[in-house]
């Protein structure tokens, strides 16, 4: 029986398409169609199996790691673990071997999306969420029976097909119990994803047990039940009482107090499902759901996920939030046929009242943009001045930080002004240089005497501007610039996501602040 909630979701694979002269024609016996993903130590290609012309995924070890004995050994071990793990809820191995540039693993191509992408698009009922978790649990049960610990279980490493089948993937840091005992004396190294890692894995990844995977699955369970990523912030009081007791046990800091066997976790979830009633959970969650729904609906006004599809611009935005955006506002405007604007703003205060103030501010922005379009005056400094004038006449006691970019494609120019204590970068495609953009305007407030300045940059095909809501630590500036340049061939969405995932731990932040990145690239 098909799962309608899942069937309604888009399930075409999320591919990052770009032209590259390095794309091989063949890897082993497989014809290569395109590059799917560039990882830290490997590349994923979409290939075709010559036996039946079916799609297949080829994982290739990056050439720069071929001479690394440790990395090569781990790559070969990943293939061996997938070979051992023959289960309907685990990715299948079709082959492995050597090719002209090193090693490869040929794996099953799954027509689906990651659980992370699914979470970002739609929430599931409690019943459907637990059905998914049970499938992952069955996969873990099979792995644990064969002495395998996944060690990196997270939504990105779980695929879901259009009919609701689950596939666990990525065994790059998986461990065999016997080998772990033999290698316990080797040097410690950080392995895994912090948000989903158990406390003992964070201390020493060589000393994980089966219960470490159970801890990771409990975090994923929490996220599926709430319908959004947790980013390491778990409020178990939001979970229905009977189900909460299961998660409390699975998330115990001491592994001896946690579920030691995934079978026990599966059993308790199954028993809960048997006695589950929608009415019971509705009563337990009623107050929370009302508040949560209000916050989500407000967030959608301020943080749109539907990016503009303007002909000569590729735009993407990614957010790292906890429960809410806390006064963050991002919007896009078409001022004329070839003139576009992007605004990134946030309120100074971070509380529920800031939602009301940001709604008022959003109205002032739209009013100023409308006036600019009518007068055909597209200077960012003038637009900011008009917004500030409206704020000065308002009764609310709130200040706003603003980033405003106007892109004039007729003149091949960007006009930029800001009062945001955050980083912004401009990438010159011709010189392949990434530079900081900084203007020290004052914060928007009730002071009617404020004047604003702006800067002008050439904006040619291939050039890019990147706006952040936070400042990256000074010692990481060269690293983020290098990452931006290295990923210029990828989509703007891919770059925005990499900035969030790669640098959210290196931002200068305050509590409740949201980290967001916007990437805008000029296209032909």
Please name every residue paired with 402 in a beta bridge, in sequence order, or none if there are none.
Answer: 345
Is 198 in contact with 208 (CB distance < 8 Å)? Answer: yes
Residue length of the chain: 524
Between CA 67 and CA 102 the distance in angstroms is 10
3-class SS of residue 443: coil
The active-site residue, picked from 49, 152, 394, 421, is 152
List helix spans (H) across 110-209.
115-121, 126-145, 177-182, 199-203
3-class SS of residue 470: coil
Between CA 472 and CA 423 the distance in angstroms is 7
Between CA 221 and CA 393 the distance in angstroms is 48
Residue 485 neighbours by CB under 8 Å, 6+ apart? 427, 432, 433, 434
Residue 302 neighbours by CB under 8 Å, 6+ apart? 325, 328, 329, 330, 358, 362
Rounded to 10°, the helix 262-275/126-145 angle is 160
Between CA 511 and CA 322 the distance in angstroms is 10
3-class SS of residue 385: helix
Tokens of 259: 């579920």
* Cβ neighbours, 10 Å, residue 482: 11
Burial of 26 (0-12, 13-18, 19+ CB in 10 A): middle
Between CA 301 and CA 463 the distance in angstroms is 29
Tokens of 82: 């997938």
Is 319 in contact with 325 (CB distance < 8 Å)? Answer: yes
CA 218 from centroid of its chain's CA atoms: 19
Quote the DSSP letter at residue 483: H
E strand spans, 348-442 = 400-408, 413-418, 424-428, 433-436
Active site residue 412: no
SS3 content of the chain, % helix, strand, coil (to 5): 40, 25, 35
Q: Tokens 């009617």 appear where?
A: 448
Please provide the distance, in angstroms rounded to a whole number, between the alpha carbons at the two ends of the chain: 46
Which residues form the catalytic set? 152
């Amino acid at each position: 029986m098909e799962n309608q909630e899942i069937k309604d979701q888009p399930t075409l694979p999320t591919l990052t398409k770009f032209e590259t002269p390095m794309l091989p024609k063949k890897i082993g016996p497989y014809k290569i169609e395109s590059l799917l993903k560039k990882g830290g130590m490997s590349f994923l290609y979409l290939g075709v199996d010559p036996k039946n012309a079916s799609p297949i995924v080829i994982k290739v070890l990056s050439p720069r790691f071929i001479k690394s004995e440790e990395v090569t050994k781990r790559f070969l071990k990943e293939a061996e673990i997938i070979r051992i793990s023959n289960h309907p809820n685990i990715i299948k191995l079709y082959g492995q071997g050597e090719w002209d540039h090193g090693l490869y693993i040929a794996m099953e191509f799954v027509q689906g999306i990651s659980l992370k992408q699914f979470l970002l698009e739609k929430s599931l009922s409690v019943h459907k969420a637990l059905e998914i978790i049970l499938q992952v649990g069955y996969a873990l049960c099979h792995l644990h029976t064969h002495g395998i610990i996944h060690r990196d279980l997270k939504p990105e490493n779980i695929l879901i097909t259009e009919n609701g089948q689950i596939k666990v993937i990525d065994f790059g840091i998986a461990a065999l119990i016997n080998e772990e005992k033999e290698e316990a004396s080797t040097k410690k190294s950080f392995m895994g994803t912090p948000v989903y890692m158990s406390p003992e894995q964070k201390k020493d990844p060589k000393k994980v047990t089966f219960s470490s995977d159970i801890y990771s699955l409990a975090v994923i369970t929490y996220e599926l039940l709430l319908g959004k990523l947790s980013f390491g912030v778990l409020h178990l009081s939001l979970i229905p009482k009977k189900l909460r007791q299961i998660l409390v046990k699975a998330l115990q800091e001491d592994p001896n107090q946690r579920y030691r066997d995934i079978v026990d976790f599966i059993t308790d979830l199954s028993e809960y499902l048997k006695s589950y009633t929608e009415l019971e959970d509705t009563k337990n969650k009623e107050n929370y759901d009302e508040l949560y729904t209000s916050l989500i609906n407000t967030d959608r006004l301020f943080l749109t996920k539907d990016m503009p599809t303007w002909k000569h611009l590729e735009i993407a935005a990614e957010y790292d939030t906890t429960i809410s955006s806390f006064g963050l506002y991002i919007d896009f405007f078409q001022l004329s046929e070839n003139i576009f604007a992007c605004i990134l703003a946030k309120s100074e205060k971070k509380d529920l009242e800031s939602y009301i103030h940001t709604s008022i501010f959003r109205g002032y922005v739209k009013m100023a943009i409308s006036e600019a379009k009518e007068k055909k005056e597209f200077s960012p400094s003038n637009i900011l001045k008009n917004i500030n004038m409206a704020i000065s006449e308002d009764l609310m006691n709130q200040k706003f930080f603003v980033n405003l970019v106007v892109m004039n494609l007729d003149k091949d120019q960007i006009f930029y002004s800001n009062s945001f204590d955050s980083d912004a970068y401009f990438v010159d495609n011709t010189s392949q240089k990434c530079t900081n953009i900084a203007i020290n305007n004052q914060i928007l407030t009730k002071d009617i005497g404020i004047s604003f300045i702006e800067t002008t940059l050439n904006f040619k095909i291939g050039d890019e501007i990147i706006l952040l809501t936070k400042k990256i630590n000074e010692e990481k500036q060269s690293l983020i610039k290098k990452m931006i340049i290295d990923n210029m061939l990828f989509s703007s969405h891919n770059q925005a996501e990499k900035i969030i995932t790669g640098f959210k731990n290196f931002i200068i932040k305050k509590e409740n602040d949201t980290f967001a990145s916007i990437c805008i690239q000029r296209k032909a």
